Amino acid sequence: MKDDFVPDVVISRLPLYLQELNHLAKEGLHTVSSKVMAARLGTTAAQIRKDLSYFGGFGKQGSGYQIYDLIEQLQKILNMDHVWQVVVVGAGDLGRALTHYQGFASQGIEIVALFDVDPKLVGTQVGSIAVRHVDEMEDELKNLGIKIAILTVPGGVAQEVAEKLVKFGVRAILNYAPVSLMLPEEVHVQHIDPVPHIQKMMYYL
């Protein structure tokens, strides 16, 4: 099923296809054409067909994709066959917002711990999760075998905290801190920053 030569940009688009297919399924549809998918995602039918062709032939000429079947295939490709436990480091407003974000559970993502250094935050609750001191991070990450972390600490300490996470076994970091992280190549980093998104829109205004 997996092909090491799938371009990274194709992998980036698979979660968006999955998201749209989930919307379509919720609307009660069972099949969808690449054309309709493309219109809803602001891309082209050719792009969707080409992206999916890396993983074998989904859909039949003329009859479109079986939505539930394609959802299942994409979930397999994206390793969503089990729940991924994720920790959040940084219990400020953003860390707390992400800890009780409603969109994770249905996508197989479970926030299991939230860490901070601030004595005013350590011990407070965010929903069912208690904020714990970063000193407890090593044990927790190693015990649970955590591979994915969300980083919402201030920019000045992000690199240092990220290096600790990697030392404790984390291999994927969703970085909300406003800095670029320098980490070993085998660690996957995705940077979420509102600024480039707003600047892109400025261009068109």
Task: Name which position in 109, 112, 117, 157 contacts a second copy (CB under 8 A).
Answer: 109
Task: Name which position in 1, 5, 61, 93 contacts a second copy (CB under 8 A).
Answer: 93
Output the smallest distance, CB 204 to a second copy, in A: 5
Q: Is 174 in the site for a second copy (CB under 8 A)?
A: yes
- For residue 188, the 8-state DSSP code is E
The pair of structure tokens assigned to 156 is 């000045």
Residues 153 and 89: beta-carbon distance below 8 Å: yes
- For residue 83, the 8-state DSSP code is P
- For residue 18, the 8-state DSSP code is H
Q: Is 50 in the site for a second copy (CB under 8 A)?
A: no
Q: How far apart are CA 205 and CA 184, in angstroms?
A: 39
163 residue type, one letter:
E
In 30-107, at which residue ranges do the beta strands (DSSP E only) sit?
31-32, 65-66, 84-89
Q: Is 195 in the site for a second copy (CB under 8 A)?
A: yes
If the CB atoms of residues 139 and 193 are measured against a second copy, the closer one turns out to be 193
Residues that bind a second copy (CB under 8 A): 11-12, 14-16, 18-20, 23, 40, 77-80, 84, 86, 92-94, 96-98, 100-104, 107, 109, 147-148, 150, 155, 171-172, 174, 178, 180, 188, 190, 192-205
